[in-house]
Amino acid sequence: MEEKIFQMHAEVCKSLSSPIRLKILNSLREGEKSVEELTKLLGLRKANLSQHLAILRQGRIVTTRRAGLNIYYKIANPKMIKACDILKEVLFEQLAENEKLVKKMSAQNQYPKKVHKFPLEMKEKLDSPERKKLLNPEKALISLGIKAGMAVADIGCGTGFFTLPLACLVGEKGKVFAADISKEMLIDLRERIEKEKLHNVEVLLSQENKIPLKAKEVHYCFLSAMVHELENRDLFFRELRRLLKDKGKIAIIEWKKVPSPLGPPLEERISLSMMKEILIKNKFCIHKTMELGQYNYGVVAVRG
């Protein structure tokens, strides 16, 4: 019997021995998905995805359901997700250990040597028509999955380029907490909120790694063009984990590391692959990534 279990265990490991198949499982953690949904989420060609799904199905890791022309896939046994999460935790711990070693070996700090905060004298640029041409805020928020009724913290909200569309999107049953460390930015934002007569926005003066909100208060933390300004990413993301409800999400918009008519200096920007590493290191699971216009990208990550 024991021999048989070892054999079956090895077969399961073989079925999971591909990062793509692990990503597929991760995408199915919240429920069944059709092949079309999975292709979009994972950015794979249908033929490639089908090969991986067939392996997972043969290994009895996923099951299928046909509805009309669509085939839906779901995880056969939710304990499989728990097992993957435990393994992930082990890997996080290993990564943390490695980092400690690197830190010891290097006199340099792991964070950018100098972070620069957005210069106040340039605040008009944040809500300029030029920026709106590069990035449509309403469309971006919808692609990031923000919906009516949600409680969203717009952290590093600035003068409100996204806060106002966010307030419209979450509607009267939703709530936007707009936080920034800059009093001056918040003065401008308050004026705009009053002018637009918005009743679902609360403006909060926050500190570098401390946001004045209760634990598990929000469904989404929204961070636009601010992660590259953080002094200590680990402390900041720990604070976001505190604010988020279980399975809450972070939605990030940043500037691609390519020359663009607006945006911070290239050397201060964070590439999409680096951003994913930062999130994974801080115990978030990447849910989806996307292009937002020519010069920005978006990432949604779930509180792990």
Binding stretches for ligand SAM (CB under 6 A)? 117-118, 126, 155-158, 161-162, 179-182, 185, 206, 208, 224-226, 229-230, 236
Burial of 110 (0-12, 13-18, 19+ CB in 10 A): exposed
* Min CB(110)–ligand SAM separation in Å: 17
Nearer to ligand SAM, 72 or 161 (CB): 161
Burial of 26 (0-12, 13-18, 19+ CB in 10 A): buried
What's the full length of the chain, in residues?
Answer: 304
Neighbour order of strands in the sheet with 151-155:
201-205, 175-180, 151-155, 218-224, 244-255, 296-303, 284-292
* Min CB(279)–ligand SAM separation in Å: 16
Nearer to ligand SAM, 14 or 132 (CB): 132
Query: Contact at 8 Å (CB) between 175 and 151?
Result: yes
CA angle 87, 64, 85 (to 5 degrees): 10
* Min CB(209)–ligand SAM separation in Å: 6
CA 47 from centre of chain: 27
Closest CA to 158 of 303, 289, 268, 264: 264
Say which residue the tokens 């984990």 belong to. Answer: 241
* Min CB(85)–ligand SAM separation in Å: 29
Nearer to ligand SAM, 33 or 175 (CB): 175
Per-residue tokens: 141: 């928020």
* Min CB(134)–ligand SAM separation in Å: 12
* Min CB(230)–ligand SAM separation in Å: 6
d(CA 17, CA 54): 14
For ligand SAM, the nearest residue by Cβ is 158
Nearer to ligand SAM, 118 or 295 (CB): 118
d(CA 201, CA 198): 7
Nearer to ligand SAM, 126 or 302 (CB): 126
* Min CB(73)–ligand SAM separation in Å: 36
Q: Per DSSP, what are the bridge partners of residue 155?
A: 179
Nearer to ligand SAM, 32 or 208 (CB): 208
Nearer to ligand SAM, 59 or 145 (CB): 145
* Min CB(185)–ligand SAM separation in Å: 4
Q: Is the dihedral of CA 42, 46, 51, 54 positive or negative?
A: positive
Helix (H) or strand (E) holding 155: strand 151-155
Nearer to ligand SAM, 52 or 188 (CB): 188
